[in-house]
Amino acid sequence: MSIKSRIRTIPHYPRAGIMFRDITTLLKDPIGLRTTIDAITERYRAEKIDKVIGIESRGFIFAAPVAYVLGAGFVPIRKQGKLPAETISCDYQLEYGSDKIEIHADAIDKGDRVLMIDDLIATGGTMEAAIKLVQEMGGNIVECCFVVDLPNVGGSKRLRQQGHQLYSLCSFDD
């Protein structure tokens, strides 16, 4: 079963020249969803993971069940103003502009082994900001995991050059 074959491509969305990779077709397929969650959890089953970070919003879909299976805590990283308690934040650049993400100030304990999960890596700006937040809190990042990598956009290369470990289930080079 190919995870990649279950991801729809929508040309010229949200603007001309962009090939949008739509994971909703993967999510609605029970076998595709199960295969994706199983592939991620199997990779990290032997690791001691304390917290699994899910990045808003599609990262939540994968991170929460992975945390459950691994017996780890789930921590959301959200856009500014969405978390109710004290937060720390980081600004970052998007493919189409800029934004800010936040994490609860008490979400990561010093020394926690953390798995970062998002649905897709393009420019890498969101994950880079999330990494900074976790490291600022004293967390040790085991790996950054993505369902989809868009290597031609450059984010995965940039994060690897910064010394981060990345893993993706599939990639689209076009």
Provide DSSP, 30-89: HHHHHHHHHHHHHHHTTS--SEEEEETTHHHHHHHHHHHHHT-EEEEEEETT--SS-EEE
Contacts of 124 (CB under 8 A, 6+ apart): 154, 155, 156, 158, 159
Coil/strand/helix, residue 131: helix
Region of 127 (left: φ > 0; alpha: ψ -120 to 50; beta: rest) is alpha
pLDDT of 104: 98
Look up 58 and say whether it is catalytic: yes
In a domain, 22, yes or no: no
CB 92 within 8 A of CB 129: yes
What's the structural domain count of the chain? 1
In a domain, 147, yes or no: yes
**The one catalytic residue among 95, 113, 143, 158:** 95
In a domain, 3, yes or no: no
- pTM (2 d.p.): 0.95
| pLDDT digit string, tens, across residues 16-74 | 999 999 999 999 999 999 999 999 999 999 999 999 999 999 999 999 999 999 999 99
In a domain, 102, yes or no: yes
Name the token pair of 72. 């780890």
In a domain, 26, yes or no: no
pLDDT of 1: 67
Q: Could you tell me the residue range of the domain that residue 105 belongs to?
A: 45-171
pLDDT of 54: 98
| pLDDT digit string, tens, across residues 62-116 | 999 999 999 999 999 999 999 999 999 999 877 667 899 999 999 999 999 999 9
pLDDT of 174: 72
**The one catalytic residue among 6, 21, 58, 78:** 58
In a domain, 83, yes or no: yes
Residue 2 pLDDT > 70, yes or no? yes
pLDDT of 138: 98
pLDDT of 132: 98
Compute CA 79 distance to the chain's CA centroid, rounded to the nearest angstrom.
Answer: 14
Coil/strand/helix, residue 24: helix
CATH code of the domain in which 50 resides = 3.40.50.2020
| pLDDT digit string, tens, across residues 132-162 | 999 999 999 999 999 999 999 999 999 999 9
Dihedral sign (CA 12, 14, 18, 23): negative
Look up 47 and say whether it is catalytic: no
Interatomic CA distance for residues 37 and 66, integer angstroms: 6
